[in-house]
Structure 1
Amino acid sequence: MSAAPANMTAIEIIQWGGPEVLQACRRTTPQPGPGEVLIKVAAAGVNRPDVMQRKGLYPPPPGASDIPGLEIAGEIVALGDGVGVPAVGSWVCALVTGGGYAEYCSAAAALCLPIPKGLGPVEAAAVPETFFTVWTNVFERGGLRAGESVLVHGGGSGIGTTAIQLARVFGATVFVTAGSAEKCRFCERLGARAINYREEDFVDRIQTLTEGKGVNLILDMIGGPYLQRNLSCLAVDGRLVVIAVQGGAKAEINLLPIFLNRLTLTGSTLRPRSVNEKAAIANALRQNVWPLLESGQVKPVVYANYPLVEASEAHSLMESGRHVGKIVLSVV
């Protein structure tokens, strides 16, 4: 049984709309189901899918909480049936399907990872969503290898800053696009070659920087408007991985570059995947990435930290595009 109180403070979406529709409320504290743990949340990450959910464009999968929030860090206070590890009292960060903007949140035990040594809860809460996403899309689906090159769109985002660091530490050359000189400078400090897409054509710039060869992999969040241009940036046997459609989901393209250069177009989304699928990613992160976080070779970039009850302000910042890296809500 849980030692948590019967009720908790949470942030709910009272209707579809702007940041102001995020309102503090009192909810029944969840209880962990079989294979789950209950976490007393210390901090929760804010992500673009939360904004989409708030607007009514990204509904929770069946059975998930309607409370937004896809990543948390905190202390385990109760175990569901069949859970022995992690134990009560363990401090973890976890990927969840919803419910993160709250004082308590249930999570699959298999998706809980120990907070890396040297990180506090705020930094740890900025890890799961972006690191799970980057690992599965850049290294598993995208197959990035040492000596290859990758172009990451949105280099200043949480996904972007994570992808830069991981690709670099695993031996790849990294190019990014970003929308301001400040963001470009930050990405360059992380080890990327940055292209200000507001001032330069990224296709021309990539061709120049790679001496006409193109890049081996592209991680794209824009979608339709960038599709043909992305294909023009790829080297022979290049791979394009699309993980979001912020610019739109549809495009009309010329298929010839795919045939002629043996290109691969793929994509994925994380939230609806099964616990077993996500657990495999968690295990890969524990083995390949956690040592890098604990040694300081890779570090989450936290731009701003708001109290939970100021979730609407956090969403306003995210939609402004001013931030670099992650935005986090502190619950305690």
Structure 2
Amino acid sequence: MKAIQIDEFGDADVLRIAESPEPVLRPADLLVRVRAAGVNRADLTQRRGGYGRADFGDSTIMGLEVAGEVIAIGPEAAGFALGDRVMAVTGGGGYAEIARIDHRMAMPVPPNLSFIQAAAIPEVFITAHEALFHLADLQPGESVLIHAASGGVGSAAVQLAHAAGARVLATAQAGKLDRVRELGADIAIDHRNQDFAEVAAKETDGRGLDVIIDFIGAPYIERNIRSLAAGGRLIQVGLMGGGEAKIPLEIILFRHIRIIGTVMKSRTAAVKHAMTRRFRERWYEALSTGALSPVIDSVFPMADAAGAHRRMESGDAFGKIILSAAQ
């Protein structure tokens, strides 16, 4: 099969398409003919050598989410038939013609969605649901600030929080604020020209926010903590701005604040299975009716994975970048 490979770590130009062995079917697996694959920031980190090795999980081929057709089923895999359209988080190997997925990570593609749309769902929507509801326990009527709301996880989180009845504040670039509002944000904040902490204080009458979902890290951590109400929860999903920071411990103590980190890529298989199940049980119907929609920024041919990576690195994207492997 053809797959995207790297011979050395580096910039986007190290990505190349080449022949690769097909993945071996294990008892609990499905093999899927990939029609589309999502691009994630973890792919960029892997390409640059941020994990210290070419593989991080099941495969030396990058790619953490796919949509396609089932072409083989392991003897312990249940709930799927040959030819089924599925979408799934993978343990690596998504940038290829054929991907191997644990059947417990797979979901049927809703009939109203294309493979391109389906490939934009698994990683970001499951991550957003886990952060907002399983970890932060966001409740209707609570306030939540979602940083980087124009990204894949951020745009999914805005939709989910709005659908759950929360009051949503969201940060993004000035030119993306209208689209963030269209996704369901009540207050859209220009992260370059407005201080989100000041906006949060004003919009909550000084009480503070119940939940913050953050992907930035060090540059935001102190203001995030100071912006939380008593009993507030900060869910740290990424570290795009770095991981070394000053933390006001006295506020954490006296306001009884919880800080929880989460990275799907490093979770155990059992935890990932549970994350997928929780998301599917709560939100699959909303995807099937169109109440929730994946946000697609752009689509690149699989052979131009380098172009897709450059698009993500530009910072101009809104929503998901997808690789199309359709024949």
1:229-282 deviations in whole A, cap 9, x for unaligned? Answer: 100111111000001111111112221111121111111111122222111122
Find the counterpart in structure 2 of residue 161 from structure 1: 155
Runs of at least 5 residues in structure 1 that lack an aligned partner in the other structure: 1-7
1:110-145 deviations in whole A, cap 9, x for unaligned? Answer: 111000121110000000000110111110011101
Verify the 8 A CA contact 2:56 2:92 in the aligned structure 1.
Answer: no
Q: Are 1:279 and 2:270 counterparts?
A: no
User: Secondary structure of 1:145's partner?
Assistant: coil
1:136-175 deviations in whole A, cap 9, x for unaligned? Answer: 1110011101110110110100111100000001100111
TM-score by length of 1: 0.95
Please, which of 111, 116, 133 is the counterpart of residue 117 of structure 1?
111
Query: Which is worse superposed, 79-88 or 45-54?
Result: 79-88
Find the counterpart in structure 2 of residue 251 from structure 1: 245
Q: Are 1:45 and 2:17 counterparts?
A: no
Counterpart-to-counterpart distance in 1, 2:275 and 2:130: 7
Query: Which is worse superposed, 276-285 or 320-329?
Result: 276-285
Counterpart-to-counterpart distance in 2, 1:61 and 1:272: 12
Find the counterpart in structure 2 of residue 135 from structure 1: 129
Give 1:307 shift.
0.4
User: Secondary structure of 1:289's partner?
Assistant: helix
Find the counterpart in structure 2 of residue 24 from structure 1: 17
Residue correspondences, number = 324
Equivalent positions of 1:257-276 (< 5 A) are 257-276=251-270
State the one-letter code of the partner of 2:82.
V
State the one-letter code of the partner of 2:19.
R
Verify the 8 A CA contact 1:60 1:98 in the aligned structure 2.
Answer: no
After superposition, the Cα gap between the structure-2 partners of 1:186 and 1:62, relative to the gap in structure 1 and judged at 3 Å, is: closer
State the one-letter code of the partner of 1:57.
G
After superposition, the Cα gap between the structure-2 partners of 1:50 and 1:63, relative to the gap in structure 1 and judged at 3 Å, is: closer
Counterpart-to-counterpart distance in 2, 1:32 and 1:131: 27
State the one-letter code of the partner of 1:154.
A
Find the counterpart in structure 2 of residue 33 from structure 1: 26
1:298-332 deviations in whole A, cap 9, x for unaligned? Answer: 10000101100010000000000111000000001
Please, which of 299, 319, 322 is the counterpart of residue 316 of structure 2?
322
Q: Are 1:150 and 2:152 counterparts?
A: no
Percent sequence identity over aligned pairs = 39
User: Secondary structure of 2:16's partner?
Assistant: strand
1:202-239 deviations in whole A, cap 9, x for unaligned? Answer: 11111112211111000011112211110011111100
State the one-letter code of the partner of 1:50.
D
Find the counterpart in structure 1 of residue 78 from structure 2: 84
Please, which of 187, 196, 201 is the counterpart of residue 190 of structure 2?
196
After superposition, the Cα gap between the structure-2 partners of 1:190 and 1:84, relative to the gap in structure 1 and judged at 3 Å, is: closer
Counterpart-to-counterpart distance in 2, 1:63 and 1:97: 5
Runs ≥4 in structure 1, deviation > 2 angstroms?
A: 58-63
Counterpart-to-counterpart distance in 2, 1:231 and 1:60: 36
User: Secondary structure of 1:228's partner?
Assistant: helix
CA RMSD of aligned residues (A): 1.2
Runs of at least 5 residues in structure 2 that lack an aligned partner in the other structure: none
Give 1:194 shift.
0.8
Give 1:62 shift.
6.0
